[in-house]
Amino acid sequence: MSSGRELFARDGPEAQMDEIAARAGVGIGTVYRHFPTKEALLTAMVRDRFQEFAEIATLAEDTIDPRHALETVMRRSAEAVEGDVGFQLAMMGSNQLEWEGIEEQKAVLAAVVTRIIRRAVDAGVVSDDFTFEDFGMVMCGITSTMYYKPGGADWRRHLAITVHGIRPPVRDVEQESA
Amino acid sequence: MSSGRELFARDGPEAQMDEIAARAGVGIGTVYRHFPTKEALLTAMVRDRFQEFAEIATLAEDTIDPRHALETVMRRSAEAVEGDVGFQLAMMGSNQLEWEGIEEQKAVLAAVVTRIIRRAVDAGVVSDDFTFEDFGMVMCGITSTMYYKPGGADWRRHLAITVHGIRPPVRDVEQESA
DNA sequence: CAGCATACGGAGCTAAGATTCCGTTTGTCA
DNA sequence: TGACAAACGGAATCTTAGCTCCGTATGCTG
């Protein structure tokens, strides 16, 4: 199972049951005795790792500086999926695939991140219409750089551009007073 | 072939040869008489549509305002892949999959977009380290919103954030004179 | 119209990969 | 040690989808 994770990290959902079993040093039958279907196995691995997001966000919430807190969640989340193709796909498709049992973890993540965002908004360091949904959207974008441009474009650069992009628009005095 | 495009737009590379043939009102054999393999068929369709990017960029180059020109390429490119899952994947993976015969179109696109970027940089409306590679990277990100959050997050919002993000960083006088 | 060529259709072949099933091994209890 | 149970392994099965092949239809030429 933990060996399956290595393969999942390398090949994503394409990872083959035979190979997973071989890597784990067991027969295919044994794998199926633990997980009724391949999907169940994938789900278990994703749920397992998805947990990390909530932990990352929770840790980041301790950061005093509001902007730094938000940037930390984003960076750490990206780092968490780095080098794990399966996890990258899981993050990007987290709302289109209905992975069983991930709902609650997602709820926790949403709650924490929403608080972090609100704090940044209140501090005026992030555009006041920035939402948790936006967070998922831009993280998906940053992850797409890892997934689709491996060894090419640098996702940290994408992150930097994004972080810059979610800052409040520059307003002149007239607009602000209006 | 044009009917294959509809299926490709809906299902991406998952589109099945049987269905493509049926949709076209011909037998599978006939499809294979025109395209030796499925990949050849997909390549032909992608090459066909990829052409549009170069056209879009070329048209946008006429725009006088440098920032507007760049934003137009980005928006039009995104609009071009909207609603076409196959094309979305093609755009995102354009540099990992080696689609035959796309190289030259990509070269044209690179040349035109690079000029547009340079103009924007020279006008000081875009960060001066923004490159064509960055362009591909952020477009991939925006496209990922369409692909992974269909009916969910709004890619135009992602575009707006990105456009904001590639602006030059705000510098105070001291930094500028340094 | 006969003969030939070209293009078509789609049943069937093949490969790949998930899943099943049963003979075998391992472990436990008396 | 013998009997039973639980877990294992992996060959065989099933399914899907790309691709091939050959009998047939269409069309052209003399």
Q: What is the 3-state secondary structure (H, E, C) of chain A?
A: CHHHHHHHHHHHHHCCHHHHHHHHCCCHHHHHHHCCCHHHHHHHHHHHHHHHHHHHHHHHCCCCCHHHHHHHHHHHHHHHHCCCHHHHHHHHCCCCCCCCCCHHHHHHHHHHHHHHHHHHHHCCCCCCCCCHHHHHHHHHHHHHHHHHCCCCCCHHHHHHHHHHHCCCCCCCHHHHHC
Nearest to B90 by CA among B43, B132, B149: B43
Spell out which residues of chain B touch residue A74, defining contact as CB-CB under 8 Å: none
pLDDT at A108: 94
pLDDT at B102: 83
Who among residues 31-50 of B has its Cβ near strand C, under 7 Å?
A: 32-33
**A151 Cβ under 8 Å from any chain B Cβ:** no
The beta strand positions in chain B, using DSSP E, are: none
**A170 Cβ under 8 Å from any chain B Cβ:** yes
Q: Which nucleotide is nearest to B32 (CA to C1')?
A: D19
Task: Give the pLDDT means over successive 10-residue stretches in chain B (178 positions).
Answer: 80 96 95 95 91 96 98 98 96 75 89 98 97 98 97 95 93 47
A165–B164 CB contact, under 8 Å: yes
Is A98 or B71 the better-scoring residue by pLDDT?
B71
pLDDT in tens, A31-63: 999 999 999 999 999 998 999 999 999 999 999
pLDDT at B48: 86
CA-based angle B150:B44:A85, to the nearest 5?
Answer: 45
pLDDT at B67: 97
pLDDT at B135: 98
| CB B66 within 8 Å of CB B166 | no
Q: Calculate the CA dihedral of residues A53, A58, A60, A63 and round it to 10 degrees.
A: 170
Length of chain B (residues): 178
Residue in B150, B157, B165 closest to A161 by CB: B165
B137–A158 CB contact, under 8 Å: yes
Indicate yes or no: strand D within 7 A of the C-beta of B16: yes
Spell out which residues of chain B touch residue A165, defining contact as CB-CB under 8 Å: 161-166
pLDDT at A97 over 70: no
**A97 Cβ under 8 Å from any chain B Cβ:** no
Distance of residue B172 Cα from the nearest chain A Cα, in angstroms: 14
B136–A153 CB contact, under 8 Å: yes
Indicate yes or no: strand D within 7 A of the C-beta of A36: no
Locate the chain A residue with the closest alpha carbon to B166: A161
Residue in B141, B166, B167 closest to A142 by CB: B141
**B145 Cβ under 8 Å from any chain A Cβ:** yes
Question: B114-122: which pairs have CB atoms within 8 A and are 24 or more residues apart?
Answer: B115/B61, B116/B57, B116/B60, B116/B61, B116/B66, B116/B69, B116/B70, B116/B73, B117/B70, B119/B66, B119/B69, B119/B70, B120/B66, B120/B67, B120/B69, B120/B70, B122/B66
Nearest to A139 by CA among A124, A120, A119, A117: A117
Spell out which residues of chain B touch residue A157, defining contact as CB-CB under 8 Å: 134, 137
pLDDT at B118: 98
**A143 Cβ under 8 Å from any chain B Cβ:** yes
Residue in A141, A145, A161 closest to B145 by CB: A141
How far is the C-alpha of A163 from the C-alpha of A159, rounded, in Å? 6
Q: Which nucleotide is nearest to A14 (CA to C1')?
A: C17
Mean pLDDT within A7-15: 95
Domains of chain A (ranges, CATH numbers): 48-169 (1.10.357.10)
Q: What are the CA-CA distances from residue A43 to residues A5, A13, A49, B98 (Å)?
A: 11, 10, 10, 31
**A171 Cβ under 8 Å from any chain B Cβ:** no
B153–A133 CB contact, under 8 Å: yes
As a whole-number percent, the residues of chain A with pLDDT over 70 amount to 90
**A106 Cβ under 8 Å from any chain B Cβ:** no
